[in-house]
Amino acid sequence: MDLVEFERHVRNEPAARRYLLKRCFPGGDPICPRCACEKVYRLADQRLRCGGCRYTFHEFSRRFLNRGGLSCRDWLRLLKLFELELTANRMAPELRLSYNTVYKAMTTLRLSILAGALDAMQLMHVSSGLDLGLCERPAADDSHAALNRYPVFGIIEKNGWVFIDLLPQVQAETVLHFNLHFSLKLTRMGSIIYTDRYQRYDALMFCGDDGLPLNYVNIRGRSAYVDSLSGSFWSFARARLRRFNGVTPRRFPLYLKELEFRYNHRSDDLFPLLADRLCALVPEQTQS
Q: What is the pLDDT of residue 219?
A: 58
Residues 6+ apart with CB under 8 A from 198: 154, 184, 204
Where residue 216 falls among pLDDT bands split at 50, 70, 90? low
- Cα–Cα dist 155/123, whole Å: 15
- Cα–Cα dist 163/203, whole Å: 11
DSSP string, 105-173: HHHHHHHHHHHTSTTHHHHHSGGG----SSS----TT-TT----SS--EEEEEETTEEEEEE-TT--HH
Q: What is the pLDDT of residue 142?
A: 45
Q: How big is the chain by its Cα radius of gyration, in Å?
A: 21
Per-residue pLDDT tens over the stretch 62-100: 999 999 889 999 999 999 999 999 999 999 999 999 999
What predicted TM-score, i.e. pTM, was given to this entire model? 0.90
Q: What average pLDDT does the segment 18-42 reach? A: 95
Per-residue pLDDT tens over the stretch 252-263: 999 999 999 999
Q: Is 159 exposed, middle or buried, given 0-12, 13-18 or 19+ CB atoms closer than 10 A?
A: exposed
- Cα–Cα dist 234/240, whole Å: 10
> Does pLDDT of 136 surpass 50?
no
Q: What is the pLDDT of residue 12?
A: 97
Q: Give yes or no for a contact between 98 and 88, defined as CB atoms under 8 angstroms apart.
A: no
Q: Of 61, 85, 80, which is closest to residue 16 (Cα–Cα)?
A: 80
Distance linking the first and last C-alpha atoms of the chain: 41
> Does pLDDT of 150 surpass 90?
yes
Question: What angle separates helix 252-264 from helix 233-243, to the nearest 10 degrees?
Answer: 130
Question: What angle separates helix 270-279 from helix 72-83, to the nearest 10 degrees?
Answer: 130
Q: What is the pLDDT of residue 202?
A: 95
Q: What is the pLDDT of residue 24?
A: 96
Residues 6+ apart with CB under 8 A from 42: 48, 49
The letter for the amino acid at 153 is F
Where residue 31 falls among pLDDT bands split at 50, 70, 90? very high
Q: Give yes or no for a contact between 117 and 257, defined as CB atoms under 8 angstroms apart.
A: yes
Per-residue pLDDT tens over the stretch 106-116: 999 999 999 99
Q: What is the pLDDT of residue 229?
A: 84
Question: Phi and psi (nearest 5°) for 227?
Answer: -70, -20
Q: What is the pLDDT of residue 138?
A: 46
Q: Give yes or no for a contact between 95 and 78, defined as CB atoms under 8 angstroms apart.
A: yes
Provide long-range contacts, Cβ within 8 A and 24+ apart, for 82-91. Answer: 82/106, 82/109, 82/274, 83/270, 83/271, 83/274, 85/240, 85/243, 87/243, 87/244, 87/245, 89/245
Q: What is the pLDDT of residue 185?
A: 86
> Does pLDDT of 288 surpass 70?
no
Q: What is the mean pLDDT of the chain?
A: 89
